[in-house]
């Protein structure tokens, strides 16, 4: 799925407790042209690389490239990492007997967390192509809360945005208080390059997710 994995400059145990944490699992960014639908590949879009043992993972606390995503801490003690859960987090996930609950995709998920009031941390994709004319773009992510409070917060907000170069062209969010323990809920956002949005045609397409 990806060409290389860059080593993390600084890591902490995946189970480090912070005041506020968001848990996300990225689904597939898709492209819809007229009546047809074509998927746009997202490097490490379901956070399956690297593969970890059950109940383990790796977390970065330093801004930079991590797991093929560009991580911005937004301040001290934020974290972004990948977890292979067990049944303590999501029922049936021990030994990967079943995939994560729908609408999540795969057996692993990412955590994106903040530790200070008002802090915003984010992950950003690389360029996913260029924006075509007369095209509808749909991005989606599965936002989850683990079964126990040790691994989730039920507080904060996760946003998902489509980018045209450096510009946010569409965004949506979900409050984690609305996501039940042990489940994932879908979050999606759409952009239409028709009519008033023609100025973005030919601009690089990207994906951005914030936790706060």
114 by Cβ neighbours in 10 Å (0-12 / 13-18 / 19+) ranks as buried
Q: Compute the distance between CA of residue 161 and CA of residue 102 in angstroms, rounded to an integer.
A: 21
Contact assessment for residue 41 and residue 158, using Cβ atoms and an 8 Å cutoff = no
**In percent, how much of the chain has pLDDT > 90?**
24
Mean pLDDT of 178-186: 88
For 97, the token pair is: 């007997």
Report which of residues 207 and 16 the model is more confident about: 207
Name residue, tokens 């692993």.
108
Identify the pLDDT of residue 195.
63
Name residue, tokens 């507080």.
155
Identify the pLDDT of residue 170.
94
pLDDT over threshold 90, residue 205: yes
Q: Which of 67, 165, 148, 147 is nearest to 112 (CA)?
A: 67
Report which of residues 68 and 106 the model is more confident about: 68
Confidence of residue 149 (pLDDT cuts 50, 70, 90): low
pLDDT in tens, 58-105: 988 899 999 999 999 988 888 888 989 899 888 888 887 778 888 887
Q: Compute the distance between CA of residue 171 and CA of residue 141 in angstroms, rounded to an integer.
A: 12
Contact assessment for residue 119 and residue 42, using Cβ atoms and an 8 Å cutoff = no
Its pTM stands at 0.83
pLDDT over threshold 80, residue 115: no
């Amino acid at each position: 799925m990806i060409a290389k994995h860059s080593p993390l400059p600084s890591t902490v145990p995946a189970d480090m407790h912070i005041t506020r944490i968001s848990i996300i699992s990225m689904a597939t960014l898709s492209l819809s042209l007229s009546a047809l639908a074509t998927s746009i590949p997202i490097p490490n879009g379901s956070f399956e690389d690297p593969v970890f043992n059950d109940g383990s993972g790796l977390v970065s606390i330093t801004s930079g490239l991590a797991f093929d995503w560009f991580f911005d801490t937004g301040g001290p003690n934020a974290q972004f990492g990948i977890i292979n859960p067990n049944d303590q987090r999501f029922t049936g996930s021990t030994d990967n007997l079943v995939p994560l609950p729908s609408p999540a995709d795969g057996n692993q998920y990412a955590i994106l967390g903040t530790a200070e009031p008002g802090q915003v941390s984010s992950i950003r994709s690389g360029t996913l192509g260029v924006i075509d004319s007369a095209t509808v773009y749909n991005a989606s992510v599965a936002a989850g809360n683990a079964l126990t409070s040790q691994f989730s917060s039920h507080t904060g907000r996760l946003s998902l945005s489509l980018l045209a170069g450096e510009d946010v062209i569409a965004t949506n969010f979900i409050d984690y208080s609305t996501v039940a323990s042990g489940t994932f809920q879908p979050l999606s956002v759409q952009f239409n390059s028709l009519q008033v949005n023609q100025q973005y045609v030919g601009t690089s397409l990207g994906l951005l997710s914030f936790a706060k």
